[in-house]
Amino acid sequence: MANIGIYVGSANGITLAVGEQIQEALGEDNCDLFDLEDDYLGFDEMLEYDVLIFGCSTWGSGEVQFNWVEPLQDLANEKPDFSGKTIALFGAGDYVDHGEQFVSALGVLYDKFTGRGANFIAPFPTDGYTYKYSNAVRDGKFVGFPFDQVNEKDKTPERLGRWLEILKADLA
Ligand SMILES: Cc1cc2nc3c(=O)[nH]c(=O)nc-3n(C[C@H](O)[C@H](O)[C@H](O)COP(=O)(O)O)c2cc1C
C-alpha cells in the first residue's frame, strides 16, 4: 500500500489538478489521491497513511472548500488521534478578489489538525506573493503551498517545483 494519501477539496478542479501533479511528482506507487467530493470514507482510512497531503481551496471569506466541512465535523466529533502523522498542505486562492483572506483555508486545516496531534512539514516562504492578510501565514511563512490560478497561473509551475523540493527534503 502507498504510504502517502492526498485528500483534496476542490470546487472547480483547480486544487485537484495540482493534487494530480503532486501525486505524479511523488510517484503513483507511493501516493494515493482522493477527491473528497466522492472519496471520503472517514478517518479510519485516512489514518492508514503515514503521510497525508491535504489540498483545499479557500471559499466564503477565509473558509475551507465545502468538501472539507464533513471531515472537519467528524474531526471535532470523533477526535481521531493524528499523533505521529505527518501532514503537508496546499491550496488555491485569489489574491486580487480575496486578498483579505488569501488561502486562509490552509490556516484552518493547520489549526484543526495541529489540535489532533499532527506534525506539519513543508511550509513555504511568502516572498513573491501579494495579499493583505492570510490566516495561512505562521511565523512568517505559509503553512503549506499556496497558488493563485486566477491571477498568477504563470507563476505556479516554478512555485510548485520549489515546494516539491522542500516537501521531498522534509520527507527524506
Ligand atoms: C465566492 C468565492 C469566495 C472565495 N473566497 C476566497 C477567499 O476567501 N480567499 C482566497 O484566497 N480565495 C477565495 N476564492 C478564490 C478560490 O479559492 C479560487 O477561485 C480557487 O482557484 C478555487 O479552486 P478550486 O477549484 O480548487 O475550488 C473565492 C472564490 C469565490 C468564487
| Each residue's pLDDT tens digit, 25-34 | 999 999 999 9
Facing residues of 63 across strands? 59
* Cα–ligand 1 centroid distance for 48 (angstroms): 30
Helices 156-171 and 14-26 cross at an angle (nearest 10°) of: 50
Query: 134: Cβ below 6 Å to ligand 1?
Result: no
Band (pLDDT 50/70/90 cuts) for residue 2 is: low
Q: State the distance from the centre of ligand 1 to the C-alpha of 124, rounded, in angstroms.
A: 20
Give CA separation, 58 vs 34, 41, 76, 160, in Å. Answer: 18, 22, 20, 18
Q: Ligand 1 center to residue 97 CA distance, Å?
A: 9
Q: Single out the residue of 59, 137, 148, 138 nearest to residue 105, CA to CA.
A: 59
Statement: residue 109 has pLDDT above 80: yes
Domains recognised in the chain with CATH numbers: 4-171 (3.40.50.360)
Residue 77, ligand 1, Cβ within 6 A: no
pLDDT for 1 equals 59
Closest CA to 9 of 53, 75, 73, 61: 53
